[in-house]
Amino acid sequence: MNRRSAIKKSLLATAATVAFPTIVPASVLGKDAPSNKLHIGQIGFGRIARGHDLPETMKNDVARVVAVCDVDSKRKELGKAYIEQYYRENKGSDTFMDVKMYDDYRELLASPDIDGVIISTPDHWHAQPAIEAALAGKDIYLQKPTSLTVAEGRMMSDIVHRTGVVFQLGSQQRSTDPWPQFRRACELVRNGRIGKIERVEIGLPSDPAGGDPTPMPVPENLNYDMWLGRTPYVPYTLERVHPQHDFSRPGWLRCEQFGAGMITGWGVHHIDIAHWGMGTEFTGPIELEATAEFPREGLWTVHGPYRVESRYANGVTMIVDGELPNGVHFYGTDGDIFVSRGNVAVTANDPDFGNSPAFKTSIKDKAQLEIGENDIRLYDSPEQHRNWLDCMKSRELTISPAEVAHRSCTACLISHIAMKVPGKLQWDPVNERFRDNDAANRMLSRSQRYPYGYDNIPVLAGHARK
């Protein structure tokens, strides 16, 4: 048994014996509960929380956002004001909601009043809070990408599965609102409308180089040490973290210390759709090779121009390239289908999608573009956050459950590794290891800076170090 397998086995054994909260959340008490509303805590109040996660959640009357947490006290207070204003305007009462504020998400997770959490933090703070939320018995809506490394993504998926909490990834292209074309395209592909799939081409945005690395004083309102979390300590500079006066696109997105760049930032969306269409949601490529350019100066270190070519066990070749039109293009023996977001964005500062059409196909027969009652029909979700809330009530799987989310993210993360390691890499999607390549396997995990990281979660500490 290798070290990774030993860690996985010991963590699952630990998860099986974790003591969950003794106070039962409102969501499982049914119609006789003091409140039939699902109580949600918001972890991280930044661009995506303010512009997407909170409004899409709060518009559903079944939920109440009752708490907010951020390591930046300014953003924490803005989050409280934002949520309370929403309820004031939509419920007609100045005292409808008194949102609790937390500096440390672990204190929020300890509250028996919370049924579920939305995690809208930077990429390096995705997997650990999700693991701890699962161990605390809280349902989870997690912003993509699922994890910073394959190792922590595997751990998170296993613990979510073992604890039975409801998990949803923010891969909202699967849901009908606002992009019904993605499900339609995948259903057509799965039903053989373009014949046998031979190739999938994916176009993603790219990030610029630059950024000012000059050290600056840490703002008094920011717990910078906790913001860095398990990643190495580096001096504070504004363009490494997030803006202090607005909610524009943050600089951490372009630093490899905190994420892998667009290959995960957008790759998780489009590769997830490719997997959905191909029916490969629980596996991954078996071979891949990549090239990429990386900045040689400045603060921002994520990849620039790149190309990744992967091969799957079903014979399909997947090409991911920043020069391709933004979207997912399925090619089969009998035709092709292209799908993208078109001109519909999630936030005001989403990347430019160019002129990519929302849906385009070579299929001429209109009857072939319809899905019949005997055809394969994929999971129908109205909207990603609504689907999560519905599943919190029903306890059914969401449209983007943990294992599916982990597999899509893994395909992106190993693509990033392939950008760093020359030559063709052979990937084993069952054991989640590269074959005969120690250099690549060393990049499947990263060191954990004490006292942060999954190695240092109290209930798991010791087990993860065996």
Question: What is the pLDDT, as a whole number, of residue 216?
Answer: 97
Report the distance separating Cα 230 and Cα 454, nearest Å: 8
More confident position, 302 or 21: 302
> Residue 34: is its pLDDT beyond 80?
no
Q: What percent of the chain has pLDDT over 90?
A: 83
Mean pLDDT for all residues in the chain? 91
Question: What is the pLDDT, as a whole number, of residue 92?
Answer: 80
> Residue 354: is its pLDDT beyond 90?
no
Question: What is the pLDDT, as a whole number, of residue 211?
Answer: 94
Report the distance separating Cα 188 and Cα 335, nearest Å: 11
- The DSSP letter of residue 252 is G
Mean pLDDT across 262-288: 97
Contact 206, 352 (CB under 8 A): no
> Residue 15: is its pLDDT beyond 70?
no
Question: What is the pLDDT, as a whole number, of residue 458?
Answer: 83
Q: What percent of the chain has pLDDT over 70?
A: 89
pLDDT digits (tens, 9 = 90+) for 58-108: 999 999 999 999 999 999 999 999 999 999 999 887 778 899 999 999 999
Question: What is the pLDDT, as a whole number, of residue 253?
Answer: 96
Mean pLDDT across 242-254: 96
Report the distance separating Cα 93 and Cα 209, nearest Å: 47
Contact 146, 406 (CB under 8 A): yes
Contact 299, 202 (CB under 8 A): no
> Residue 32: is its pLDDT beyond 90?
no
More confident position, 360 or 25: 360
Count of other CB atoms within 10 angstroms of residue 280: 22
Closest alpha carbon to 175 in 152, 146, 141: 141
DSSP-assigned letters across all residues of 313-333: TTS-EEEEETTS-BEEEEEET
> Residue 24: is its pLDDT beyond 50?
no
The token duo for 25 is 């959340």
pTM score, whole prediction: 0.91
Q: In the structure, what pLDDT confidence band is assigned to residue 312 with cuts at 50, 70 and 90?
A: very high
Question: What is the pLDDT, as a whole number, of residue 223?
Answer: 98
More confident position, 422 or 465: 422
Question: What is the pLDDT, as a whole number, of residue 19?
Answer: 44
CA angle 151, 264, 204 (to 5 degrees): 155
Q: In the structure, what pLDDT confidence band is assigned to residue 349 with cuts at 50, 70 and 90?
A: low
